[in-house]
A and B are shown apart, each in its own frame.
Chain A
């Protein structure tokens, strides 16, 4: 099976712009989660989608949003970018996102905000 894919791999934006990141989960996986990784804060959970519905959300401002399509592909959007949004954004998928299900990660999108 193909793994989790994320596009683009690298992105450079300026403050105030918005950005959309894309994630394709492993075939058959219906749960997609997003994480932000920074040197200072480590890995932080953004949100999770299951069957096109946001099922769980982390402690991030409303500028961070996402959606999931009927084929389980997911997009994440960040509006009004700030310098602090520079990070590696990781997408992970699991079959159903149930307790004990490991998550399988994509290579990430490196976002740099100038």
Chain B
């Protein structure tokens, strides 16, 4: 069964600093991985997705993620944090047994210090 683990329920960085949100996956087959963002009182917005075409995936709002099979990781990064990046971020994997089911990590809340 697939799963994702997000390391750190809360990450705080200064404005302009590097953002690094960690995600490790568990899958016996090549996974389809996603990062979503949720702003307060809103639904989830797709940031980016990995579908094996390229290991470095660029998403919206300057975010990118790198798929590393040897480390079973799919960490999300952004070179310079903005105040508007404050939100909850979810790493997710498409369930192999049920393509329409997405399995989410527990989420990482990102805070930005002025």
Contacts and interface: CB of A to CB of B under 8 A. Distances in A.
Interface residues of A, number: 28
Contacts of A92: 44, 102
Given A33-B101, A43-B104, A48-B100, A100 B43 contact: no
Contacts of A45: 101-103
A25 interface: no
A58 B43 contact: no
A31 interface: yes
Categorize the interface residue count of chain B: 20 to 34
Interface of A: 4, 6, 31, 33, 42-43, 45, 48, 50, 55-56, 58, 90, 92, 94, 97-108, 110
B49 A102 contact: yes
B61 interface: no
Point out which of B42, B94, B100 has the most chain A C-beta atoms below 10 A from its C-beta: B100
A77 B106 CA distance: 26
Contacts of B96: 99
Interface of B: 32, 34, 36, 41-46, 49, 51, 90, 94, 96, 98-107
B55 to A, nearest CB: 15
A-B residue pairs, 10 tightest by C-beta: A97-B100, A105-B43, A100-B32, A43-B104, A99-B99, A105-B44, A48-B100, A107-B43, A56-B98, A100-B51
B35 to A, nearest CB: 10
A31 B43 contact: no
A58 B103 CA distance: 11
B43 A42 contact: no
Contact of A98 (B49, B90, B99, B105): B99
A45 B32 CA distance: 17
Given A50-B100, A92-B102, A105-B44, 18 more contacts: A4-B43, A33-B102, A42-B105, A45-B103, A48-B100, A56-B100, A90-B44, A92-B44, A100-B32, A100-B51, A100-B99, A101-B100, A102-B46, A102-B49, A103-B100, A107-B41, A108-B43, A110-B41
